[in-house]
Structures are given as C-alpha cells and as structure tokens.
Chain A
Amino acid sequence: MANRVAIVSIAQVNYKEKLAYAPEELAYEAIKPVLEETGLGFGPAYEKGGIDASLQCHEHSRIMRPFSGCQLLEAVGANLRPDEKVDQDGALGVYEAVWQIASGDFETVLVVSECHDSVNRHAGNAIENLVFDPFYHRPLGLDNCNTAALQATRYMHQYGVTREQCAKVAAKNLKNAKSNPLALVSGDFTVEDILASGFVAYPITKMETRPFADGACAMLLANEERAKKLTRKAVWIKGLANCCDGYFIGDRDLAESKALVVAAKKAYQMAGITDVRKEMDLAEVTDEFSYQELMEYEGLGFCQKGGGGKLLDSEETRLSGRLPVNPSGGALSGCAHTNIGMARIFEVVLQLRGEAGDRQVEGAKIGLAHLAAGPCGQLQQVMILGTEP
C-alpha cells in the first residue's frame, strides 16, 4: 500500500455473558487498555496528536435500536469529535479506518466493536430472519443457520466432503481454544462428540455452530509516522479487500464462494503475495459454521477447489501444522456477532506481536484475517497483516 497503515494497539474482553454491563461499559473495558498502552487521549476535534477519530461498529438490527452508535459515544470520546459508525462487523470497521487514515484526513483512528448477543436471547431466530427477503424468504422462516445448512449440504454433495470432516474442524478449533483465555467453549472433543451434539439443521450440529456471546474489541490504527512513534510492535495492513455476492441464495452456486475468490485475489495482489500456501504463516477465518472453514480453504487458495476436506485431513492447518488456521479457536469457541471478523484480526495481530501465549505460532510474520458475513457468506473480506510494512 502506498499510504501505510498499522494497527498499534489492541484489546478484547472475553465472551462470557455480560448482561450486567451497558454497551458503553462493556466497550470501555476493551478501550481502556488501548488508551493505557498508547498513552493517548481524546483531544479537541481535528487537532493532531491524540486519537484523531473514532469508529464504532455495532449492528443496530441486533439490538433493535436505530442509530445505535449513540450508545457508545462517551466510551469512544465522540462528543463534538469526528466519529463514524459502520453498521457491520468490526472487521469492516478496520477496513474503513484504514482508508480514513490512508486518505490523509486522520492520523489515528480508534475502532471499537461491541455486541451483546444476549440482548436477543428471547428473540430466537427472529433477528436473523429480518435479513431475508420479506416476500419470498421471510415467510419460510429462513435464518442464518438453516441457509448455512443448505449451503453445507450442497458443498458436501458437490465435492464429497463428509460430515466427519466438518466435525473435525470444530474438534480442531475447540482444542486450539484451550489455550485462549477469551474463549467461551474449549476442550478435547472427538468427531463423535461433535456429531452427537444434536442437529440444529442437517447437516449442522449444535457444536458446529457459533455459541452466542457478549463481547467488545478495540483497536487503534495509525499512519506510518505515528505508528512508529507509538509502538515497536506495529502490525501493518498489507492488503485488504471485500466483495459482496448476490442476495438471493437460489441464484448462487452455493458450493463455492465466488466473492471470496475475488476478495482474496485483490488482497493478495495488494500485499504482493504470489503463493499464499508458501508465504502465509497463519490464518484466522470465519467459522460460524464448521463447514465454512473448509470452503474458505478453497476460496482463499490454500488448496484446490473441493480440496478443503483433504487439506484438513493432512493436518496442515492444525496449530502445529505448516499453515495453522484458527489458532484462537475461531468463532466456534464463542464470539459475539459483530465481533466475528474483528476477533479474527485481533488474533492475527496478537500472533504477529508474539503475544499469543501457549498457542503462539512460532516466527509468525505474515497472517490472514477473514470475515464472512450475511446469508451463506454473502459478504467476504480478506485482510493480510504483517510485521513489516
């Protein structure tokens, strides 16, 4: 990238239920460590030196409150200061902040993502149903899970991927999560345990879905000059891209993600990556449902089309493998909805800073953080991060 941008500080709270805390209180638990680490504060608007701007990520449809950005204003120091609200995953907030800084308008931007999944614990699948078409799809009770199941069946049928291979993704990630103190669920589970956890929608079982959680994540991004002054552990954004597929799931070939292929190609090009399998040290991908990780191996070019199951079986993507995927335990170990992608970036940054504790990937210098959002992963985003600009 011509105008270099780095992530200079990160913090995240764990994923336990936090109904005792208001959204701004929860968010500030993640913001405070960032302020402490960088020693920065919220100065007068459009004056350089402190935190220039804030960017909130909060999906208002998940809390049924429009302009939900209002809630976090105090915590992100937004009163009479520049502030933006991305109504999508925190990963898109990081994407937006990168361009805000690269545009030259701001030098530092604080990105905060907050989500209480427990707010809608009485709402069942109603919130997810609202994403679908009000004429053709909502009346059929569609939600994220049963549409994901439609995709899973198609994908498995197309490429002969087995239910055991999907369950193995969950087993791998939950095992990785054992050394992640933020994780909600972790442990040594067998493929049989996971397959026996009961169907949510065939072929997806309960343990193959993301446990709902409450969480907040904060990151400070800075331009090159400021980043170098603020930290010796800057993690650089080397490439980033997102791409949106069509809305009607019946239009799409659900066995592959065209949008991911487009996003990955663009991000690799920006980062100067020619052979992702050789060059990438680790990847954090969205595994809201276990089968997604296998499809994403393919879309990201870690293997050939249809080779996701085999790549997993080769053990290359486990923690000690050549290309560890989801060393954090992924979303399958628990994640709040709006944080799914941002938590992936968080883990990659932690790994590249060498602060991942027992799950540290030795010598990690370049990592990939991926987000899939929307019905059957309609929106895909790829971000390449590195220890060198």
Chain B
Amino acid sequence: MSRSKSQGQYEVPPSHMITSVFMEYPMGLFMGKFMRELKENARLVGMVCRQCGHTMFPPQALCSVCYGENFQDPQWVEVGPEATVAGLMEIKMPWLNPWTLTLRASQYPVGILMVDAPGRSPGVIWHFIAETDVSKLRVGMRVKAVFKPREEREGLMEDILYWAPVGE
C-alpha cells in the first residue's frame, strides 16, 4: 500500500450536471379564474375581502391582511385597467426568462403600479411602462393596460404588453 500526504488542490474539471426537468405548478382555483379572465376577456379580476375590505390582487381564497376566508360567495371585482405609477425601475441588466431559461432585456422600464380597485387598498402589480424615455415618467402618473390580441393571450402576465401613459 503506497502512502502519501495531501498537498493542496488538484486541477479537475467541475462536475457538470445537465438535466432537462419540467415542473408543473398548480395555479389554484382563484388564480385560475384570474388567468382565464385575462386570457378570454382581457380583464383583470381581483377580489375584495369580505371581512376587511382589502383588495386581493391576484384573487386569493384567504386574505393576506386579516386571514379571513373568502371562498363562500367571493366578492369578485374588476381591477384596473387603469393604474397609478408608484415607483419606477429602469432595468439596466438582462434577466432570465423563466419559461425558456434564456436571457432577455426590455426596452421598457418596469413600474410598480397601484391598480385602480374598489377595495380599501389598491391592487399592486409590477409591469412594463410603454415609454422608453424615463425622464418623461414620474411617480403619480396614470397608465392603462394594453393587452395582446385574443389569439396570442395565454393567461399569463405577459398577456399585458405594457401599460401606456394616459393623456392628461
């Protein structure tokens, strides 16, 4: 048996794991309705909590704020299509598209939007704003959702092309 003492790191290639694995996430009953309405009617639906009036956008069976049940006779409401910009992000780096795992970049900035809703709180969403010149944008401005045509919609957030500034 030959014996030797260890000396530092040896050069070997990294262990390279390649697997093509797909996961199937259940969207659920309430998110399911949101996705169907988006796909079929280009409508944004949310719910207003029956217990505390909090706007649930996306719709949820249980309220985030008061934990109240909202599945018996849920209070469906249409949210948007207009919204107020609450914050802006100019994304300067490319990011990964989770559907394809390829890089993508956007010419549009991302806004955090307070979407008009009948509850006591607005619906919150982040999405593209259709204005490449950021200097023309400001917090508090009004925008409106522009949807893809019916045949291109899949019930995903990408069905909204962007939010276009509304003339004042």
Are A and B in direct contact (Cβ within 8 Å)? yes
Give the interface of A toward B (CB within 8 A). Answer: 18-25, 28, 32, 41-42, 63-64, 73-75, 77, 79, 116, 118-124, 126-127, 129, 134-135, 138-139
Q: Is the CB of A28 within 8 A of B17?
A: no
Q: Is the CB of A135 within 8 A of B15?
A: yes
Nearest first, the 5 closest Cβ-Cβ pairs linking A and B are: A22-B28, A77-B67, A74-B62, A126-B21, A122-B22
B13–chain A nearest beta-carbon distance, Å: 11
**CB of B103 within 8 Å of the partner chain:** no
Chain A: which residue is nearest B32 at the CB level?
A20
> B-side binding surface: helix, strand, loop or mixed?
mixed
30 A-B residue pairings within 8 Å (CB atoms)? A20-B32, A21-B29, A22-B27, A22-B28, A22-B29, A23-B28, A24-B28, A24-B60, A25-B29, A25-B61, A28-B62, A32-B69, A41-B67, A63-B25, A64-B21, A64-B23, A74-B60, A74-B62, A74-B63, A75-B61, A77-B67, A120-B21, A121-B24, A122-B21, A122-B23, A123-B22, A123-B23, A138-B15, A139-B15, A139-B17
B133–chain A nearest beta-carbon distance, Å: 35
Once bound together, how far apart are the Cα atoms of A41 and B69, in whole Å?
11
Q: Is the CB of B61 within 8 A of A123?
A: no
B58–chain A nearest beta-carbon distance, Å: 10
Out of B19, B24, B28, name the residue touching A21 (CB < 8 Å): B28
Give the interface of B toward A (CB within 8 A). Answer: 15, 17, 19, 21-32, 60-65, 67, 69
Contacts of B23 in A (CB 8 A): 63-64, 119-120, 122-123
Out of B24, B32, B60, B67, name the residue touching A119 (CB < 8 Å): B24
Once bound together, how far apart are the Cα atoms of A119 and B64, in whole Å?
24
Once bound together, how far apart are the Cα atoms of A75 and B27, in whole Å?
15
Q: Is the CB of B62 within 8 A of A18?
A: no
Contacts of A42 in B (CB 8 A): 67
Once bound together, how far apart are the Cα atoms of A134 and B14, in whole Å?
10
A157–chain B nearest beta-carbon distance, Å: 29
List 7 other contacts, CB 8 Å, given A73-B64, A74-B67: A20-B29, A22-B29, A77-B67, A79-B64, A119-B23, A120-B24, A122-B23
Q: Is the CB of B15 within 8 A of A126?
A: no
Q: Is the CB of B31 within 8 A of A22?
A: yes
Chain B: which residue is nearest A136 at the CB level?
B15
Q: Is the CB of B19 within 8 A of A126?
A: yes
Once bound together, how far apart are the Cα atoms of A77 and B67, in whole Å?
5
> Which of A73, A74, A138 has the most CB atoms of chain B within a 10 A radius of its CB?
A74
Once bound together, how far apart are the Cα atoms of A28 and B63, in whole Å?
12
Contacts of B63 in A (CB 8 A): 74
Contacts of A21 in B (CB 8 A): 26, 28-29
B70–chain A nearest beta-carbon distance, Å: 10
Chain B: which residue is nearest A118 at the CB level?
B24
Once bound together, how far apart are the Cα atoms of A124 and B31, in whole Å?
27
